[in-house]
Amino acid sequence: MIREYGIHLKGGIIAQRDADYCTLRLRMPAGVLDTTRMRGIAEIADTYGNGTVHLTTRQTIEVPDIHNLKLEEVFEALRANGTPVGAEADEIVNIIACPGTARCKYANIDSIALAQRVDKSLFGKQVPVKVRISVSACPYACTSPLFNEIGVIGRIEPLREPGLCTGCGTCAEYCKECAISIKNGVSALNDDKCIMCGVCIHSCPFELLKSKHRHYLITVGGRRGRHPQMGRELVAVETEDEAVEVIERIVNWVRRRAWSGRLLSDQLDDLQFEQFKAEVISDMEK
């Protein structure tokens, strides 16, 4: 018998076609997992499941074919392994992130560190609608932040100091947006085309291009699924602390104002998103 009756209702437990079995989705902030815990998950899957695991789009692992009567036992094994059950219901689910500045040459922010901070603060928090949070260290957006309820993108606004450019054309060659041209021996930037990816800064062989504004662009209301929709820009902040503060504020706004039964993207206008945006921008500028 399962003594903890609420255990089977946790969001990380997903019902299967065979009602006697379920799949367990694990909590794995930013998709980071050391090999010791990985071996532990493999052992649990062998002991209680069918000997396989499923790697999800949200950078976590699912263990399928767990018998309902074994849930309490599996819960304890996962907790001891440091990989507790995750979330999938109307709550803050697994926060995902790209490799960030630790490994990626295009990264502008430490996306993994930010995702792990947000996880500690918000993971599993119950809200009226499911909230997915995605962090991408640059506008290449490998983790699709614009298609999550909350998205974070690391950007750099390039700064060109007059009189220093040699006109070598390297930045123009590397810019995939065709936002840079060489005029009269000097690079010129088309602001309308620039997506602030920072590639021109990294590519300059003479290190003459500088970062004018390194920041975290935060978006709200994106979604994937049958009818994908891009999130709306909320605010750009300059520090990780400010990014965490804004994300927490968004979640509190959703918790207080949103209602269940509709995706967040379908509620933004009813929730007066533009007014909320104005308030956030005003507060962050103080």
**Mean pLDDT for the stretch of residues 201-205:** 90
Q: H/E element holding 93?
A: none
Residues making up the chain, counted from first to last: 286
The residue ranking higher by pLDDT, 166 or 92, is 92
Whole-number average pLDDT of the chain = 93
Position 4 pLDDT exceeds 70: no
Banded model confidence at residue 7, pLDDT cuts 50, 70, 90: low
pLDDT at res. 5: 41
**Mean pLDDT for the stretch of residues 219-237:** 96
Identify the residue whose tokens are 């071996």: 39
pLDDT at res. 186: 87
Identify the residue whose tokens are 């700064």: 159
pLDDT at res. 162: 75
Banded model confidence at residue 133, pLDDT cuts 50, 70, 90: very high
pLDDT at res. 8: 65
Q: Which domains does the chain have, with CATH numbers?
A: 5-81 (3.30.70.3340), 96-156+213-285 (3.30.413.10), 161-208 (3.30.70.20)
The residue ranking higher by pLDDT, 164 or 136, is 136
Banded model confidence at residue 11, pLDDT cuts 50, 70, 90: confident
Angle ∠(88,155,27) on CA atoms, nearest 5: 20
Is pTM beyond 0.75? Reply is yes
pLDDT at res. 286: 75
Rounded percentage of the chain residues whose pLDDT exceeds 90: 84
The partner residues of 63 in beta bridges, in order of sequence, read 24
Identify the residue whose tokens are 């009602």: 19
The partner residues of 133 in beta bridges, in order of sequence, read 150
**Mean pLDDT for the stretch of residues 42-60:** 97
Phi, psi for residue 50 in degrees, rounded to 5:
-105, 15
Q: How far apart are CA 42 and CA 54, in angstroms?
A: 11
pLDDT at res. 3: 37
**Mean pLDDT for the stretch of residues 69-84:** 95
